[in-house]
Structure 1
Amino acid sequence: MPKISHKGVQMPESPIRKLVPFAETAKKKGNKVYHLNIGQPDIKTPEVALNAVKNADITVLEYSHSAGFDSYREKLAAYYQKQGLPINKEDIIITTGGSEALIFAMGSTMDEGDEIIIPEPFYANYNGFSTQNGVKVVPVISGIETAFALPPIADFEKLITPKTKAILICNPGNPTGYMYSKEEIQQLAALAKKHDLFLIADEVYREFAYDGYKHFSVMNEESIAENAIMIDSVSKRFSMCGARIGCIVSKNKELMATAMKFAQARLSPPTYAQIASEAALDTPQSYFDDVISEYKDRRDTLVNALNAIDGVQVAMPKGAFYCIAKLPVANAEDFAKWLLESYDLNGETVMVAPAAGFYSTPGVGLNEVRLAYVLNKEDLIKSAEIIKEALKVYNK
């Protein structure tokens, strides 16, 4: 029998999606499952985006330019400029989701066996993208005790080797909700400049900032114009996860020319999704004001309810819509499966994402889960109550 590739064998399962069969079994039993496991917002997609697709006068569904619609890139650049980012149309390549943008970034900057330093816990698919590109992830551990703040720069510097090509951050963070300050970004920028590294920033949650915190982009740090790569997406901003439209952004012309070759190899991003994404840029500010207010209320609701449970510890997120909760269990994945297989509270249970999959260091995060507060407040309160009662039964 033909053998599967070593790379394929090494490709990690998604910690977010691998428990889906257990959730399906729970639903077949008649149980309602509250999905805190995945960042799928229930916020309505802007009507202007949906209407643009409905009203599109298309007789032939053609390829677009490999870099994406010229009109979309120009409009997107104007959107960034309004936010104070010095980004022009030529600095942008439209991609099939932020995922493809990250794949292009790694493929354009790293070779087989090269290394990328990432503060963990981090978005689980970074492991997959790295495996796909033959790149080794070198983690720097941050902890719930510091609310997952940036580890000391000395911890980064001691890991740099001749094979280190980049540092990757998610700001604000998935799965932690941590927002890096301007000073923290500048520390990373100085390190990248000193060692001639790329600084890749996944900024897809940039709008979701709470409690007066302001997002500071790597694109604002002029000292590393040639080092900085920004990743973005419409998925969370406009509640358009299914559109699969993102972008890679950089002032480095050689980098962008290289990324363009990857873009040409996959031909073009999807046409209808670009139409929707371009139209979505006309969404009024009031939409974002309402969404951010709603997510802040949801955050406060869930975090306060979880912190009231004996033995549970949660770091307060500053942005995005996730939090990491440390549970009084030895193995959170076992608990997550048990919740779906063997437990319900009045016919209801909860699906969570075991956090060990958001680390690359073995044995770390085993008693942690990532929770997405993308449900309404009533459902979040019910979910926390289920977790509270489930822990009592599970620990007996």
Structure 2
Amino acid sequence: MPSISRRGATMPESPIRKLVPFAEAAIKRGIKIIHLNIGQPDIKTPKIALDAVRNNTLEVLAYSRTEGAETYREKIAGYYAKNDIHVAADDIIVTTGGSEALFFSMGTIADTGDEIIIPEPFYANYNGFANETGIKVVPIVSHIEDNFALPPIEEFEKLITPRTKAILICNPGNPTGYLYSKEEIKKLASIVKKHNLFLVADEVYREFTYDNREHYSILQESGLAENAIIVDSVSKRYSMCGARIGYLVSKNKEVIQTALKFGQARLSPPTYAQIASEAALDTPQSYFDDVKKEYEERRNILISELSEIKGAVVARPQGAFYCIVELPIENADTFAKWLLEDFNLDGETVMVAPAAGFYATEGLGTNQIRIAYVLEKEELKRAVHILKEALKVYAN
């Protein structure tokens, strides 16, 4: 029998999606599942984006340019300018989701065996992209007791080797909701310039910051133009996950020229999705103000409800819409499966994402889960109530 590749065999499963078969089986048994496991917003997509597709007059659905439509990239540059990030259309490559932007970034800046330092826990697919490109993830641990704050810069310096190519952050963070301060970005900027590294920032949750805190982009930092790469996406910003449109943004011309070659290999980003995404850029600020207010209220309810669970340790998100919770259990994978296979409360159960898959260090996060608070407030309360009751049964 022919054998599969080692790369395929070692490709990690998604901690978010690997429990789907158990959920489907529960649904067939008549169990209602409340999804806390995936960052699929329930917020409506802006009507202006949907209408742009519905009312378009295309007669041929043709390829777009590899780097994305010029009019779209010019409007993206205008969006960034409103956020005090000054780039040109030629500094932007439109990608098939933020995932492809990450893949292009890794392929552009590192070779097989090279290293990228990433504070953990981090977005689980970073492990997958690193596996695809043969890059070694070098994790640096942040701790729930410190609300997942940036580890000391001295700890980063200890990990830098001749094979280190970049530091990668997610700001605000998935899965932690941690928001890097301006001072922390400046510290990271200093270290990458000192060691001639790239600083890659996944900024897809830029709009969602709480407690009157503001997002500070790496491309707002002066003197970082040659080192900085932004990964971005329309998925969460406009509740358009299915559009699969993202961006790679850098003022480093060699980075853009190289990433473009990866883009040429996949031809072009999807045309209809670009039409919708370009129209979405005209979404009024009131949309974001309302969405941000809604998520902040959901966060407050979630933290309040989770804090009543005996033995739980809860991190307080400052951005995005995720929360890491440490539970009084030994293994979150086993618990998550048990919730779907063996537990329900009045015909309902919850689906969570075990947090170990968001770490690269073996053994970390085994008793933690990630919760996405993308549910209406009453549904969120119900979900935490079910989780609380489940833990009482699970402990016996």
Superposed pair shares fold, TM > 0.5: yes
How many angstroms apart in 1 are the aligned matches of 2:167 and 2:111? 15
Aligned to 1:371: 371
| Separation of aligned partners in 2, 1:314 and 1:43 | 25
* 1:102 shift after superposition: 0.3
CA distance in 2, matches of 1:234, 1:168: 20
3-state SS, counterpart of residue 169 of structure 2: strand
Instruction: Please state how far the C-alpha of 1:88 moved relative to its aligned partner.
Output: 1.1
The one-character-per-residue Cα deviations of 1:204-257 (angstroms, maximum 9, x if unpaired) are 000000001100000101221100000000000000000000000000001110
What runs of 5+ residues in structure 2 fail to find an aligned partner? none
Deviations 1:134-174 (A, max 9, x none): 00000000010000000011111100000000000000000
The answer for the alignment partner of 1:21 in structure 2 is 21
Cα distance in 2, alignment partners of residues 57 and 3 from structure 1: 48
Describe the superposition over 1:172-221 as per-residue Cα deviations: whole angstroms up to 9, x where unpaired. 00000000000000000000000000000000000000001100000101
Matched, 1:338 2:338: yes
**Cα distance in structure 2, aligned partners of 1:221 and 1:265:** 32
1:261 maps to what in 2? 261
Q: Which residue of 2 aligns with 1:320?
A: 320
CA distance in 2, matches of 1:10, 1:113: 15
Query: Partner of 2:145: helix, strand, or coil?
Result: helix
Secondary structure in 2 aligned to 1:349?
A: strand
Q: Give, as a single letter, the amino acid of the residue that structure 2 aligns with 1:36.
A: L
Write the deviation string for residues 301-360 of structure 1: whole angstroms up to 9, x where unpaired. Answer: 111100111111111100000000000000011100000000000100000000000000
Per the alignment, residue 384 of structure 2 pairs with: 384
Who is 1:9 aligned against? 9
Q: Give secondary structure in 1 for the equivalent of 2:232.
A: strand
Whichever residue aligns with residue 201 of structure 2, its letter is A
Q: Which residue type is aligned with residue 227 of structure 1?
A: N
The percent identity for this pair of structures is 67
Alignment match, 1:189: 189
- SS where residue 222 of structure 1 aligns? coil
The whole-number CA distance in structure 2 between the counterparts of 1:31 and 1:163 is 50
Asked if 1:223 is matched to 2:223, the reply is: yes
TM-score (norm 2): 1.00
Aligned length: 396
Aligned equivalent of 1:103: 103
**Aligned-residue RMSD, C-alpha:** 0.5
Q: Deviation at 1:2?
A: 1.0
Secondary structure at the aligned position of 2:223 is classed as helix
Instruction: Work out the CA distance in 1 between the residues paired with 2:23 and 2:302.
Output: 21
Q: If the length of structure 1 is used for normalisation, what is the TM-score?
A: 1.00
Match of 2:77 in 1: 77
CA distance in 2: counterparts of 1:86 and 1:282, whole angstroms: 19
Residues 1:289 and 2:289 aligned together? yes
Residues in 1 aligned to 2:356 and 2:391: alpha-carbon distance in whole angstroms: 19
Counterpart of 2:203 in structure 1 is 203
Q: Name the amino acid aligned to 1:261.
A: K
The aligned counterpart of 1:37 is: 37
Report the secondary structure of 1:247's partner residue: strand
For 1:135 and 1:309, locate their aligned partners in 2 and report how far apart those are by CA, in whole Å.
40
Residue 63 (structure 1) aligned with residue 57 (structure 2): no
Describe the SS at the equivalent of 2:159. coil
- Give, in whole Å, the separation in 2 of the partners of 1:289 and 1:87: 25
- Segments of structure 1 that go 5 or more residues without pairing to the other structure are none
Q: 1:362: which partner in 2?
A: 362
**Counterpart AA for 2:194:** K
Amino acid at match of 1:137: V
Structure 2 CA distance, aligned partners of 1:304 and 1:156?
Answer: 34
Alignment of 1:93-242 (within 5 A): 93-242=93-242
Query: Secondary structure of 1:260's partner?
Result: helix
Distance 2:68 2:188 in 1: 31
Q: Per the alignment, in what secondary structure is the counterpart of residue 392 of structure 2?
A: helix
Amino acid at match of 1:145: E
